């Protein structure tokens, strides 16, 4: 049998290289995790509004989310449910909703953009019939359902009487922004009480629904304080 004196040494070198590569990968993953935890977080800046909600604004009507040509109707309806839940959790006012079916029956369209012309007496009629003091518009301005996820939101809060604008918001959230990714991780790290181990790399940053929940919370936190 022929002898290969260097076979054992070569195997040792290969094994050592593999161990170093594995350690390098582990180190890279840990460094990435540290960067996600230590770097800055995203703070929406493109909004304006009054410092405090007027005392008369106690009940707000949330209109159907307007997806327009940005997102298909079924996706828009799913995002609408997420936004309604997050808005209610802000506890700034009582939230009532205008369904898409009722909006279509009353006004001939299932949704209306905050930037579009509204039917005659639109706000007055809704305020009267729903007992609402103000109406909240939410429009989708960007939507990407694949990585990196992205969601753009334009929103306006206006009183029924005299159509006074109390708050407006216009921002695009994109998961390829490290600050946004960090904020998503922090949001679920502090609010997910399911007890299930959560890997942000394969969780909210891959789930359009979870990402939308973070976006809704970040959006509505900028509403005027009560």
Q: CATH number of the domain at 162, please.
A: 3.40.50.10610
Q: Chain-wide mean pLDDT for the chain?
A: 84
Cβ neighbours, 10 Å, residue 78: 16
Q: 42 in a domain, yes or no?
A: no
Confidence at residue 189, expressed as pLDDT on a 0 to 100 scale: 83
How far is 58 from 55, CA to CA, in rounded Å?
A: 7
Q: 210 in a domain, yes or no?
A: yes
Share of the chain above pLDDT 90, in %: 73
Share in percent of the chain as helix, strand, coil (round to 5): 45, 20, 35
Q: 97 or 21, which is more confident?
A: 97
Whether the pLDDT of residue 148 is over 90: the answer is: yes
Q: Taking a C-beta distance cutoff of 8 angstroms, is the pair 112, 137 a contact?
A: yes
Q: Is 14 helix (H, G, I), strand (E, B) or coil?
A: helix
pTM of the model: 0.79
Q: 37 in a domain, yes or no?
A: no
Q: 124 in a domain, yes or no?
A: yes
Q: 12 in a domain, yes or no?
A: no
The count of structural domains within the chain is 1
Confidence at residue 24, expressed as pLDDT on a 0 to 100 scale: 45
The alpha carbon torsion through 182, 183, 186, 187 (nearest 10 deg) reads -150
Strands, E, within the chain: which ranges?
47-49, 59-62, 94-97, 134-144, 150-159, 165-174
Nearest to 182 by CA among 162, 200, 202: 200
The mean pLDDT of 212-216, rounded to a whole number, is 97
The mean pLDDT of 150-177, rounded to a whole number, is 96
- Helices 178-191 and 7-38 sit at what angle, rounded to 10 degrees? 80
Question: What is the extent of the structural domain holding 109?
Answer: 56-220
Q: 123 in a domain, yes or no?
A: yes
What letter does residue 101 receive in the DSSP assignment? H
Confidence at residue 139, expressed as pLDDT on a 0 to 100 scale: 98
Task: Specify the residue for token string 């009480």.
Answer: 193
What digits encode the pLDDT tens for the residues 133-146?
A: 999 999 999 999 99
Burial of 186 (0-12, 13-18, 19+ CB in 10 A): middle
Q: 4 in a domain, yes or no?
A: no
What digits encode the pLDDT tens for the residues 21-79?
A: 444 444 434 444 544 455 799 999 999 999 999 999 999 999 999 999 999 999 999 99
Q: 163 in a domain, yes or no?
A: yes
Confidence at residue 190, expressed as pLDDT on a 0 to 100 scale: 57
Average the pLDDT over each of 22-26, 78-82, 92-96, 154-158 and give the range with the smallest value. Answer: 22-26
Confidence at residue 194, expressed as pLDDT on a 0 to 100 scale: 54
């Amino acid at each position: 049998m022929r002898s290969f004196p260097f076979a054992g040494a070569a195997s040792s070198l290969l094994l050592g290289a593999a161990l170093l590569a594995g350690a390098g990968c582990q180190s890279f993953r840990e460094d990435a995790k540290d960067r996600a935890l230590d770097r800055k977080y995203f703070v929406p800046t493109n909004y304006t509004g009054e410092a405090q909600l007027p005392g008369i604004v106690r009940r707000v009507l949330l209109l159907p989310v307007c997806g327009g040509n940005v997102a298909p109707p079924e996706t828009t309806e799913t995002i609408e449910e997420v936004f309604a839940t997050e808005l209610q959790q802000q506890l700034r006012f009582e939230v009532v909703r205008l369904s898409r079916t009722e909006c279509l029956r009353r006004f001939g369209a299932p949704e209306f953009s905050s930037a579009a012309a509204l039917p005659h007496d639109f706000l007055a009629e809704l305020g009267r019939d729903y007992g609402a003091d103000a109406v909240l518009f939410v429009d989708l301005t960007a939507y990407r359902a694949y990585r990196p996820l992205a969601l753009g939101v334009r929103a306006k809060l206006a009183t029924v009487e005299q159509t006074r604008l109390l708050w407006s918001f216009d921002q695009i959230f994109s998961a390829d922004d490290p600050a946004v990714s960090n904020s998503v991780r922090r949001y679920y790290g502090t609010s997910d009480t399911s007890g299930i181990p959560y890997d942000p790399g394969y969780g909210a940053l891959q789930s359009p629904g979870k990402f939308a929940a973070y976006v809704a919370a970040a959006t509505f936190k900028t509403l005027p304080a009560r």
